[in-house]
A and B are shown apart, each in its own frame.
Chain A
Amino acid sequence: MLAHLASPRTGGLLALAAVIALLPLVLRNSYFYDVAVLVGLNAIVCIGLNLLIGYAGQISLGHAGFFGLGAYGSAILASRYGWPPLAALLATTFAVALLAFIVGRPILRLRGHYLAMATLGLGVIIFMVISTEDKFTGGPDGISVVPFRIGGFVLQGERIWYWVVGALLLVAVWLALNLIESPTGRALRALHSSEVGAEVVGINAAEHKLMVFVISAVFASVAGSLGAHYSGFVTPAKVAFLHSIELVTMVVFGGLASTFGAVVGAAVLTTLPQLLATFEDYEMMVFGAVMIGTMIFLPRGVVPSLARLFRSHRSADADNKANKA
């Protein structure tokens, strides 16, 4: 039983739940809550993106596009057409999933740099459409978004959003952990390492890549929809290439193929620019430096490196005990 609680899966989920529950003790004002909500939303995107990049080994430099489509889809349906926000969110998510399914099929045949360029292109196209179709999207000025409401209950204020996003983050982590431990998740990790090795045991690699691409797009889209309602405003900045790069940097920094790494990466790299607010113009430089630094000093990312360190300490301890006995 105790071993079960200490497993990376259950233990990690409990630890994350504890952090979310206790964090308000140090969140002194609504600005802190605001940063925490942004962390949570980015973390949800990164968990999905990490399934694609970290586990299945397929790069995407266009995920801000799916985030943006989620945000604008919800904004347009709920604010312009008066749809109930939940219905707008669900319809948008479905549409984004469908789009990812359709464009993913040809794109995911590509590998490495070619896949990177194709996803980058996809992100750029989405950005262009959103910033030029100003009749619907408000163009470069953006568009304001009604608050999220379910029935008579209106989600408003950083504190309420904190708990909602915190709960959804836990759900996202739980779903990702479940997937990774399933036959499907093992198939994804296998094809990352050897596509031919995976295919000859009966795995349809193309189908699996497409599936995880759609899942990661859905995570991004849902976070985008929620973010739009939360901040009450969306601009094309959230759809831009730069944002895609930020997301990938978070995943790489936190640790590829580590779900908790994706959360840590999102937390650190969402908070850091806030602390360095005076350096706003240099934000991209900071991200670039973090990317280079991670690649050089922590090629596995923060969380896997720490986990490895911890494990080797423990086994060293065990060795010491064994030697003494």
Chain B
Amino acid sequence: MSLLRVEGLGKKFGGVNAVEDLSFEIPPGEVYSIIGPNGAGKTSLLNLLTGVYKPSSGRIMLQEHDLTGHPPYAYARQGIARTFQNLQVFFNMSALENVMVGRYMHERCGLMSALLRLPRQARADRACREEAAELMRYVGLQAYLSSAADAMPYGALKRLEIARALATRPKLMLLDEPAAGLNPTEALELDDLIGRLTERGVTVVLVEHNMRLVMGVSDHILVLDYGRKLAEGPAQEVRNNPKVIEAYLGSAVSSETSYREEIAQVVAVAVEMHR
């Protein structure tokens, strides 16, 4: 039984088919990666899967719920969380408050309770604060527990979005290029973080260009090209699919080299820290 099922999904912008006649299923508990060149429609697909875009055609089912056409908050309430390629951090708040906002669905209270700050409300707020702090430590942001969001470096903000998404207690988490803009050490730490997400029981959809990361953590891979499915299957199969190699992984060699460079850098950093 799949967690998410997509049938004949399409999204048109004027004459452009950002996503076209796409069908696939995501089994629970997996890391399901979506790869493809820039403009392939990966971000548009995540926008469709979170209700940010309304599909022009097709259906989106989470378990038995048909979510097609519902607003984004309905997707969130059914257990789909995400991060953004272009950050959508709440820069007017502290880092901790950003994560607390992620707890909204589980904290939400009546207007009267909020206005009068009943003792129950004050207690719930303290608990919320502690859980948010716990999640920040979980993603490795313990250094930023009292930071303002607008004072944090890029790499930390990407983790902050992961912590905020985790705070919703999702079944399915969509990560849009989490490694983009990270240095090699930070990118390596992401493997570990994604591994821990699945241990937590969260199914992960990973959109990513970093092939080392994708090949290291994925169970299934979907390859998109011009909004259409180019290939799909278990990671090993897709990696050896000639169509994929031709269309997209042509740069596999160079990604191998950059992997070696990354390892060299990471080793250098580790040696430095060990001293």
Given the known A-B contacts A183-B107, A186-B100, are A200 and B82 also in contact in the complex, defined by CB atoms under 8 Å?
yes
Q: What residues of A have a CB within 8 angstroms of the CB of B51 in the complex?
A: 199
Do B125 and A190 touch (CB < 8 A)?
no
B73 within 8 A of A: yes
Do A181 and B82 touch (CB < 8 A)?
no
Do A200 and B52 touch (CB < 8 A)?
yes
Q: Which residue of A lies closest to B168 (CB)?
A: A201
CB distance from B175 to the nearest CB of A (A): 13
Q: How far is the CA of A182 from the CA of B128 in the complex (A)?
A: 10
A211 within 8 A of B: yes
Do A183 and B76 touch (CB < 8 A)?
no
Q: Mark A193-217, 1 if CB is under 8 A from B, else 0.
A: 1101111111111000001000000
A271 within 8 A of B: no
Q: Mark B68-107, 1 if CB is under 8 A from A, else 0.
A: 0001110111000110100011111100011011111101
Do A200 and B76 touch (CB < 8 A)?
yes
Given the known A-B contacts A196-B88, A200-B82, A204-B73, are A185 and B102 also in contact in the complex, defined by CB atoms under 8 Å?
no
B17 within 8 A of A: no
Q: How many residues on the A side are at the interface (Cβ–Cβ under 8 A)? A: 27
Q: Which of A186, A192, A202 has the most CB of B within 10 A?
A: A202
CB distance from A278 to the nearest CB of B (A): 41
Do A186 and B101 touch (CB < 8 A)?
yes
Q: Mark A241-272, 1 if CB is under 8 A from B, else 0.
A: 00000000000000001000000000000000
Q: Which residue of B lies closest to A211 (CB)?
A: B111
Question: Interface with A: B3-11, B115-123, B208-216, which one?
Answer: B115-123
Given the known A-B contacts A187-B101, A199-B71, are A193 and B76 also in contact in the complex, defined by CB atoms under 8 Å?
no
Q: How far is the CA of A196 from the CA of B88 in the complex (A)?
A: 8
Do A202 and B168 touch (CB < 8 A)?
yes
Contact of A184 among B73, B82, B111 (CB under 8 A): B111
CB distance from A250 to the nearest CB of B (A): 21
B167 within 8 A of A: yes
Q: What residues of B have a CB within 8 angstroms of the CB of A189 in the complex?
A: 90, 92-93, 97
B114 within 8 A of A: yes
Q: Which residue of A lies closest to B47 (CB)?
A: A196
Given the known A-B contacts A196-B52, A198-B101, A202-B104, are A178 and B116 also in contact in the complex, defined by CB atoms under 8 Å?
yes
Q: What residues of B have a CB within 8 angstroms of the CB of A185 in the complex?
A: 114
A115 within 8 A of B: no
Do B117 and A200 touch (CB < 8 A)?
no
Do B90 and A200 touch (CB < 8 A)?
no
A35 within 8 A of B: no
A179 within 8 A of B: yes
B218 within 8 A of A: no
Q: Which residue of A lies closest to B97 (CB)?
A: A186
Q: How far is the CA of A185 from the CA of B98 in the complex (A)?
A: 12
B50 within 8 A of A: yes
Q: How far is the CA of A179 from the CA of B93 in the complex (A)?
A: 15
Q: What residues of A have a CB within 8 angstroms of the CB of B243 in the complex?
A: none
B196 within 8 A of A: no
Which residues, 153 to 193 on A, are CB-close (under 8 Å) to B?
Answer: 175, 178-179, 181-187, 189-190, 192-193
B164 within 8 A of A: yes
Do B104 and A201 touch (CB < 8 A)?
yes
Q: How far is the CA of A187 from the CA of B125 in the complex (A)?
A: 14
7 more CB-based (< 8 A) A-B contacts, given A186-B97, A200-B81: A181-B125, A182-B125, A183-B100, A184-B109, A184-B111, A186-B104, A193-B89
Seen from chain B, the residues whose Cβ lies within 8 Å of a Cβ on chain A are: 50-52, 71-73, 75-77, 81-82, 84, 88-93, 97-98, 100-105, 107-109, 111, 113-117, 121, 125, 128, 164-165, 167-168
